[in-house]
Structure 1
Amino acid sequence: MRKPALLLTALVTGLGGLLVAPAAAQAAPVVTTLPFANPADVVSSGDRVFISGGRDEKQIVVTDAAGTITATVDGLDGPTDLELSHDRRTLYVALPRANAIAAFDTQTLVLSARYPTGAGTCPDKLAFGGRHLWFGYGCEAWQGEVGRVDLARPFSVVATRLTGISFFTPPLPATAARNGSVLFVGQQSLSPWTGYSFAIGATGALTKVSQTDHGSVGSDLWDAALDPTGETVYTASSTPSAAQSFVTAALTKAGRTYDTGAGPNAIELNPGGSRLAVGSDAPYGPDVFVFGVGGTAVARFELGTILRPGGLAWAPDGRRLYAIGTAQLHVLPVPAGVSVGA
């Protein structure tokens, strides 16, 4: 039997050695039951949290920052990946069953735009890059590719087949908050996986910069996150049993790793890029780990359920993590102490 949700201690190095922040000083994690079994993604705009139901559902659940359900967005055709604009005023939703991406106002929950991506595209993964909304798409094996919505153009022009690479499944794009000229794209559902970094031109054209070496990665890439500058990409894959980091300009060798004890399946940087949250699909033991990017352990959490792939999101202020498991949203309070490397 798995343990109930538990916040373990934060570890901070002080003059007297290791100082352990008492668990009682932290608010308890909160668990909210969701109306669907297999949530696909979660994002936080600050006062609101959005959880998508997945390809077999028609709903996005909206909660407040504490995890209380306050609204739903209904009538959607299989909502999967979610992405927020940098100002957190627009929520983008991938609708693979509708061959479209929808945009909603995060305060009014009103549909503000809908972007058809073309028949037979099935857009499934999103990454917001300021002017461009990138999407990984593909309905059949080896039909995966990368597309973009040019949000600065009249009528938001959509383009597809941008990399010239055939991906086994919809590829995973990742962008940097403060650098709109770099894009990471990961090949999923293969062992070993492959990652690519691209330079983004003024018109949105992609030029390949680097590619991973099979000996430096692991199996089955689940998630990836770029630091705000775009210089480093962090990855979560079934093997090794640690999150990895790579320099985007030279992806051939892995850098610092972050031990999780089991295969990571989710990874997310806090908005400032100082802390890294890593999720694991471990059947026993902690499911969510928080590290300073320098490698110091900050906190770990046991959810009591299996974390969904890619199912982590930071609150904009960095005080909470949101994690989705089977039919559940977990609100995890993160220790405020500064760790080495943060």
Structure 2
Amino acid sequence: MGEVVFDAGQKRLFVSDPRSGEIVATDFSGRELARTGDLPGVKGLALSDDRGTLYAAVPSLRAIVTFSTPDLTEANRYVLGDQIHPSDVTIVGGKAWFGYDGPPLSGQFGSVDSSGQVYFHPRQSLESYGVSPTVHSSPSAPGVLVVASEYATSGDARIYDVSSGTEALITELASAPSSNGDFGFSPDGAELVQLAGEARRVRLSDGAIVATADISGSELDIRPDGRYAVATGAVSVYEAGSETPEWRVELQGYVVTGGLIWEPGTDRLLAVTEVFSGGSNKYALWSVSETEPAVPTPSATTASPKPPAATLRAPASVIKGQPVTITGVATNLPENRWLTIARADPEKPWETEIAQVWPDSAGAFTSLTPRQFWARPRTPPRPTSSVAPWRAPP
């Protein structure tokens, strides 16, 4: 599986395909803009701060290769060493920091600057990434580099300050329930979100775990308002601090590394999925959004609904054995509803239905009480009558 990087400002994306050894540039509609090849096993991608240069980690060439972004013309090839096989790259402070496999089957990280000067992090005791680690950074946390094991079951990761040009360890993250997925940075740059069998919010200054959530996934992106999207074969969107998704969309295939981004200024997510079919990789660009119904604001033309109501008129007293006429007016009723008139007696805990009426277009209605009630007037305490809405007849 390769990697995707998005250039939101120019509405472009770049996809690496290690099987074909190609990098392809498309716009946000999926239309191909440029393509380059002869990069066997190409994996990690990163864009320079000015978005004019694309960096690619090519393990088979033992090099970091750069391209001009308009047309993917190769600009430079920084060979790292005979036994150095880079697989991931990110840009911090004008340098390309990369994770690599090297002798003896040990993963580590290093950097290369624009002059081609290569630097390798000196391995510390008890420091191991197993294989080539992943490297992560964000403009919201300038000078910060996260180096993480991709396959270790304990989610090994370390945070470094590289603002001086060389790395200074800030903290080592506590063991996680599972291997690492993606990392994201909070909009204010104060926290790191780690996907590793759960979602963790980690304070960048000291590595303290601020909060955890029962959320798993492989890819992550965080909006400026704090909402975050998590993806594997589906995309789920969460409010900041919530474990329950606001909405979820199933996709075909799996979201590739780096293949999930909030499009700036919109509520739309872009996701790139990969399916291996018929001996080749097939990629798809998805536009994912969830439009919630707008809640109308009461105005001169849109008023808040009023509750149904009715007024009744009936004789103050009745004569035993004589019919009683009850009239009334109903307001704020839904259309095509009849009403039930019921007799309520304080001495009885139930109501007795007297009649059903159909209001006219003005809401007015009249009811003549049925014969079975004529001979049964009540003595004090005096009963009352009421109306209740009923479903429209079929």
Q: How does 1:287-298 map to 2 (within 5 A)?
A: 287-295=234-242, 297-298=245-246
Listed as ranges, the matches of 1:253-332 within 5 Å are 253-257=209-213, 259-260=214-215, 263-270=216-223, 272=224, 274-281=226-233, 287-295=234-242, 297-317=245-265, 319-326=268-275, 327-332=282-287
Aligned to 2:180: 221
Instruction: Tell me the secondary structure at the aligned position of residue 160 of structure 2.
Output: strand
Change (3 A) 1:269 1:128: farther
Larger gyration radius, structure 1 or structure 2: 2
* Contact 2:22–2:42 (Cα < 8 Å) also in 1: yes
One-letter code of the match for 1:267? L
Partners of 2:201 and 2:210 within 8 A in 1: yes
- 5+ residue gaps, structure 1: 1-38, 282-286, 338-342
Contact 1:176–1:227, Cα closer than 8 Å, also in 2: no
Q: Under a length normalisation based on structure 2, what TM-score does the superposition of the two structures give?
A: 0.64
Give the whole-Å Cα distance in 2 for the aligned partners of 1:194 and 1:71.
37
Report if the CA contact (8 A) 1:141-1:169 is conserved: no
The match for 1:207 is 168
More strand by share: 1
Matching of residue 44 in structure 1 with residue 6 in structure 2:
yes
Q: Show the counterpart of 1:334.
A: 289
Aligned to 1:175: 137
Aligned counterparts, 1:1-342, within 5 A = 39-46=1-8, 47-54=11-18, 56-139=19-102, 142-151=105-114, 155-162=115-122, 164=124, 165-202=127-164, 204-214=165-175, 217-227=176-186, 229-237=188-196, 239-240=197-198, 243-257=199-213, 259-260=214-215, 263-270=216-223, 272=224, 274-281=226-233, 287-295=234-242, 297-317=245-265, 319-326=268-275, 327-335=282-290
- CA distance 1:149–1:183, change in 2 (3 Å): same
8 A Cα contact 1:184 1:197, kept in partner: yes
Distance of aligned partners of 1:329 and 1:105 in 2 relative to their CA distance in 1, 3 Å threshold? same
Question: How far is 1:96 from its partner?
Answer: 0.9
CA distance in 1, matches of 2:103, 2:239: 39
**One-letter amino acid of the structure 1 residue matched with residue 168 of structure 2:** T
Q: In structure 2, do the counterparts of structure 1 residues 133 and 317 end up closer, same or farther at CA, with 3 Å as the change threshold?
A: farther
Partner SS for 2:200: strand
Distance 1:107 1:299, change over 3 A: farther
C-alpha contact 2:33 2:71 (8 A) present in aligned 1: no
The whole-number CA distance in structure 1 between the counterparts of 2:163 and 2:252 is 45
Q: Give the AA of the match of 1:118.
A: G
Contact 1:126 1:133 in 2 (8 A): yes
Give the counterpart letter for 1:269 in structure 2.
I
Match of 1:19? none
How many residue pairs get aligned? The number is 280
